[in-house]
Structure 1
Amino acid sequence: MKAEKNNNKQINLVLKLGKRGQKTKGEVKTLL
């Protein structure tokens, strides 16, 4: 459970960064 919550936080952060720049979209795919 804790690990999943941490992963969700990371994904949310990357998604927020993705709104600023297109480069982070690739990082989101690797995390998912």
Structure 2
Amino acid sequence: MLPVFVGSCIGWASTTIARYVYPPPKKWLS
């Protein structure tokens, strides 16, 4: 269960960083 927990934490962190560095391109497409 530990690898699953670590993997979920890494996935959440990478998603948060990606959203902060690369915001949703709605303002670019609109």
TM-score (norm 1): 0.58
Give the number of aligned pairs: 22
Which structure would you say has the larger RCO, counting Cα contacts within 8 Å and 6 or more residues apart?
1
- CA RMSD, Structure 1 to Structure 2 (Å): 0.9
Structure 1: runs of 5 or more not aligned: 23-32
* Larger helix fraction of residues: 1
The percent of aligned pairs where both chains have the same amino acid is 5
Structure 2: runs of 5 or more not aligned: 23-30
One-letter amino acid of the structure 2 residue matched with residue 15 of structure 1: T
TM-score (norm 2): 0.61
List, as ranges, runs of 4+ consecutive aligned residues in structure 1 with deviation greater than 4 Å: none
